[in-house]
Structure 1
Amino acid sequence: MTWNYAEGNVFSNSTGNFESLLAWVFKFLQQAPSKPVGFVAQYDAATQSISKDKVVSTDPPYYDNIGFADLSDFFYVWLRRALRPVFPELFATLAVPKAEELVATPYRHGSKEKAERFFLEGMKKALHNLAEQAHPAFPVTIYYAFKQSETKEGSTTSTGWETFLEAVIQAGFTIDGTWPLRTERSARSIGIGTNALASSVVLVCRRRPAQAESISRKEFQRQLRREMPEALEAMIGGSEGASPIAPVDLAQAAIGPGMAIYSQYEAVLNQDGSRMTVHDALILVNRAITEYLSPESGSFDADTQFCAAWFEQYGWKSGPFGEADVLARAKGTSVDGVAGAGVLEAGGGKVRLLRWKEYPQGWDPTRDDRTPVWEALHHMIRRLNEEGETAAGELLARMPEKGEPLRQLAYHLYTLCERAGKAEDARAYNELIGAWHAIVTASHEVGHKGESLELDL
């Protein structure tokens, strides 16, 4: 076992020492709202009955992410030597029991396919048991932190997420929504230097009515087009003082309204009468997200549409002038015009988008006669990174009409960067959205006091 972080001396005064850890626990206990005495019991989730008429919130195993039983052996063998006389039943076996652990581990089951089948069937039984017993007046909340944004047409690399959703729906649940909940520390070992999820996602589930009907694929698509834009606007715009959902969490959170439509029916039927799979439903949900955030949606000027399309193909690298000219004409602008806006460098038969660090300081949108949303966004990023939220708010106050397009473009560019594996570029857009509520507040404090926040939120 190779540690990827330093482990401090627990008896020292450095980070991680015993006294400071104990102080953390003490501070929590002082603030903990629960007063009644709790109890802990261990049962098989597929056969237990203690959840009868209870409000249930559960954090199930994550497919094949972590083999807790295997990791537990590291501690179990030492605990067994010390505590077997005290708890003989807990330490009856030589190692931690593993056969019943509900994870998709190929070496235990003979193949990847058999491991997935074991996980699906076991999870379906456990969740069906919850659906049958949970209190009917309250939803069941299920925590899950498995990224689904990689679901693509023709292939998928997020089998665990799809398999889990399949189990939830087959167990008799309909998914009412998904709530991102900030549970993950950026400083945890798995998150350092990676584009890891900032949140866990809570699935809000209710038992599907026995008389649920089936609908066609076309009707499902119509409902997505009708209902997804409003749901996405509530997520990226924030509501009732809440901050917008961070781009890193949007793909996960946005499946809520999409899967709510899918899961409320007995089945969604393809043209040949077969049942639409969760995989196919996720593709359509992701397509609806992409269409909403696309620069072609009508919220963006021609220069921004050109920049977004060029960025998708070349990123910050140079590309042929001829290709740029053809693309610019198609978008209703020109390379010279975009270069004149100050966001692009053209010369020697090559065209390159400028990075935000290359934008000039002291930019004032009120004195710029050509200000595409692309330019405004990257000036905002520079101002936020170099001068902070208040300075970014001052800049937004000078162009409040661009608040909505700015946010929408940041989400779109984050998605492009994540798909291309450009974590550093993606981080800039994610951080802007993360600070958006504070930026808007600052813009009203310094720029246009007394006006409603609704315009920018």
Structure 2
Amino acid sequence: MLKLPSKGPLGYSVQADATNQKISRDKVISTDPPYYDNIGYADLSDFFYVWMRPALRDVYPSLFGTLAVPKQEELVATPHRHGGKVKAEDFFLNGMTKAISQLAENAHPTFPVTIYYAFKQSETKEENTSNKGWETFLTAVIESGFSIDGTWPIRSEQSSRMIGMGSNALASSVVLVCNKRESKLEPVSRRQFQRELRDEMPRALEIMIGGNGGVSPIAPVDLAQAAIGPGIAIFSKYRDVLESDGSSMTIHDALILINKSITEYLNPDSANFDSDTLFCDDWFSQYGWSAGSFGEADTLARAKGTSVDGVKEAGVIDSGAGKVRLLKWSEYPASWDPKTDDRTPVWEACHQMIRALNQHGETDAGALLARMPEQGEHIRQLAYHLYTLCERKKWAEEARAYNELIGSWHAIVAASQEAGERGSQSELGFDF
């Protein structure tokens, strides 16, 4: 067990260029580097610098010798500073590779290096990704000589912070656990990489979205970041992943395959959901909460093995005047009881849980779950899937509802167990 001294010399700070420093030699390293183009720290520093300089330039002449904060060497991908987006990305990649190479070279060999990265991974697609922060950073880490053995979110961000208001900003910083790569690594084919993803990602995702050892499940907003860990761990344990033409697979292409494995795992068809839920999911992906034509709904319902009248009977759609629309969670009746409902699709159970959570809190949501414990796993998986769908379509408000349900899941389950125990004791004749 590692013991840290309770007494002794106080900590100290040293300013140095991260690309050539030797301060970290034989140290246990945990670092929080700049997040690509997310925050321009030097620009923000100017706000304080102009007030501090007149008072302190005679005291600290070396620190306050310039009219404004120096910015050219700051390791962020700022296009206006480097002559365009491509050059800014190259500057960030080259600088970050040099900086992390110093960590890989100097770190104590016994301990892993942990790197905090609170940058949201937009979904990487075949053509491009809307933000290259993660791709560029991961490329720098691997090219620096590290393997990435895991990623996990640590709750570190406040939902009330300005950058998080009105958006589905990350709830956490994502910690990358890195070890120095072995010098003799073998290449592997794309097919073998895909095979290992299929074998290992479902288990890893199950731990993440199910919680582990009493740990709350990862919030949907953090899932894409956390899922990088097991995927890139496979990727970085080989010297190269070779494409069919013999070229090396890029981080971009690896993230495409990792994101696909998440989508496939959360696919309602693969989860054996009921026909009503499969209809609602497809309808929601096309229309959201808006109305569509009855004819189109009828065709879709038949394809899913149900009918519009049946889905209406289940209590999840409104149908009339040739139009069909899904009910919002706020329209669901508070008097609903799953014990007396003869047709309860997972879609209905999930949105009733959201209603109970938003209107009455975790205790009432837990009491509702206690009355349908067999639905819990399906509810949780559907919430993850719907969050992913809403995030892809940029439906921030809708996504937030599913994210909040998963974020409260651990407390809801605890409340459901307590409610279940009270119910069992009442049935035995005990009155509280």
Is 1:397 paired with 2:358? no
Match of residue 209, structure 2, among 232, 236, 239: 236
Q: CA separation in 1, counterparts of 2:419 and 2:274?
A: 28
Give the residue type in structure 2 aligned to 1:104. A
List aligned pairs for 1:431-442, cutoff 5 A. Answer: 431-442=404-415
1:212–1:265 contact (8 Å) kept in structure 2: yes
What TM-score do you get using the length of structure 1 for normalisation?
0.89
Residue aligned with 2:151, SS: strand
Q: Number of aligned residue pairs: give it.
A: 419
Matched residue, 1:421: 394
Do residues 269 (structure 1) and 230 (structure 2) align? no
Query: Are 2:120 and 1:143 equivalent residues in the alignment?
Result: no
Matched, 1:108 2:76: no
Contact 1:384–1:391, Cα closer than 8 Å, also in 2? yes
Give the match for residue 317 of structure 1: 290
Classify the secondary structure of the residue corresponding to 1:447.
Answer: helix
> Which residue in the other structure is 2:428 paired with?
none
Q: Distance in 2 between matches of 1:349 and 1:34?
A: 73
Q: Give the alignment of 1:166-205 within 5 angstroms.
A: 166-205=139-178
In 2, Cα distance between equivalents of 1:219 and 1:284: 12
Partner of 1:132 in structure 2? 105
Does structure 1 residue 71 correspond to structure 2 residue 44? yes
Is 1:250 the equivalent of 2:257? Answer: no
Tell me the CA shift for residue 450 of structure 1.
Answer: 11
Offset of 1:47 from its aligned partner?
1.0
Distance 2:12 2:95 in 1: 25
Residue aligned with 1:322, SS: helix
**Which of 256, 259, 277 is matched with 1:286 structurally?**
259
Q: Distance in 2 between matches of 1:258 and 1:190?
A: 28
Partner of 1:407: 380
Amino acid at match of 1:76: Y
- 1:35–1:403 Cα change, 3 Å: farther
Shift of 1:389: 1.2
| 2:187 matched residue in structure 1 | 214
* TM-score calculated relative to the size of structure 2: 0.94
Distance 1:117 1:210 in 2: 26
Q: Once the 2 structures are TM-superposed, how far is the Cα of residue 108 of structure 1 from its aligned partner? A: 2.2
Deviations 1:405-439 (A, max 9, x none): 00000011111111222211111111111111111
- Matching residue of 2:429: none
**Given that residues 299 and 405 in structure 1 are in contact (C-alpha distance below 8 angstroms), is that contact kept between their aligned partners in structure 2?**
no
2:37 matches 1:83:
no
Structure 1 CA distance for aligned equivalents of residues 88 and 258 of structure 2: 27
Would you say the 8 A contact 1:84–1:90 is kept in 2? yes
Give, in angstroms, the shift of residue 80 of structure 1: 2.1
Name structure 1 gaps, 5 residues minimum: 1-32, 452-457
Pick from 101, 117, 132: which aligns with 2:90? 117
Counterpart check, 1:379 vs 2:389:
no
> What is the deviation of 1:94?
3.0
Among candidates 32, 48, 52, match of residue 59 of structure 1: 32
Please state if 1:227 is matched with 2:200: yes
**Residue identity opposite 2:260 in structure 1:** R
404-413 or 34-43: which moved more?
34-43
Percentage identity across aligned positions?
Answer: 71
How far apart in 1 are the matches of 2:423 and 2:236?
44
Deviation at 1:71, TM superposition (A): 2.2
Query: Corresponding residue for 2:135?
Result: 162
Which AA in structure 2 matches 1:238?
G
- Match of 1:253, as an amino acid? A
SS of aligned partner of 1:295: coil
Q: Compute the RMSD of aligned alpha carbons.
A: 1.6
Q: CA deviation at 1:449?
A: 6.7
Aligned to 1:8: none
